[in-house]
Chain A
Amino acid sequence: GAGVSQSPSNKVTEKGKDVELRCDPISGHTALYWYRQSLGQGLEFLIYFQGNSAPDKSGLPSDRFSAERTGGSVSTLTIQRTQQEDSAVYLCASSLSIASTDTQYFGPGTRLTVL
């Protein structure tokens, strides 16, 4: 079946503009995660959603970052007033649930460049 998809694959924006990144999880997966990967670094957790529970936002770096998940499926990560340090690859993952035995499947990522 289809894996996790993300759009756009690349996004170039000017400093100060808002951007929206989209994630389509695997059908039936109740858990959805956002991570950020800066050049040459590991992945940094941002936020996750599990079913109808309140999301865990503990990894969001500032109040310029927000995310929502509509209808328990598609998620949008929004970055307001982008800064150059926001440049990174933003990866989305989904899993059946947040149980430790449920694998997180990653999408290909959105490469964000802030000029």
Chain B
Amino acid sequence: GQQLNQSPQSMFIQEGEDVSMNCTSSSIFNTWLWYKQDPGEGPVLLIALYKAGELTSNGRLTAQFGTTRKDSFLNISASIPSDVGIYFCAGRGGTSYGKLTFGQGTILTVHP
């Protein structure tokens, strides 16, 4: 089945630093999504990407849909303490159109 490899697994950074995380897939996706999950809550959508090569920003967040449709990255600029949480990539496509395939997550810790 489809699998997503997300890296890094965890990051410890200082407030104000930039962050980058990425996902690679063994197969093609039609949509790439980035979610953030806070403790005790469900994931919340940050950015959605629908076209190969697409680069999209949402405030301090920037994400790109890789040209091969098998990878995506998320950058967070000038991190702040509330950026702490778990970030997940997710891909959509293939024969089961509705389901999302998730990466393992990146745990982000920001030191003030």
Contacts and interface: CB of A to CB of B under 8 A. Distances in A.
Interface of A: 4, 31, 33, 35, 40-45, 48, 50, 56, 58-59, 91, 93, 98, 100-101, 103-109
Contacts of B98: 31, 33, 48, 50, 56, 98
Contacts of A98: 97-98
A101 B45 CA distance: 12
Contact of A42 (B31, B42, B44, B102): B102
Contacts of B30: 100
Contact of B99 (A42, A48, A91): A48
B88 A43 contact: yes
A43 to B, nearest CB: 4
A100 B42 contact: no
B19 to A, nearest CB: 18
B48 A103 contact: yes
Contact of B45 (A103, A107, A108): A103
B42 A4 contact: yes
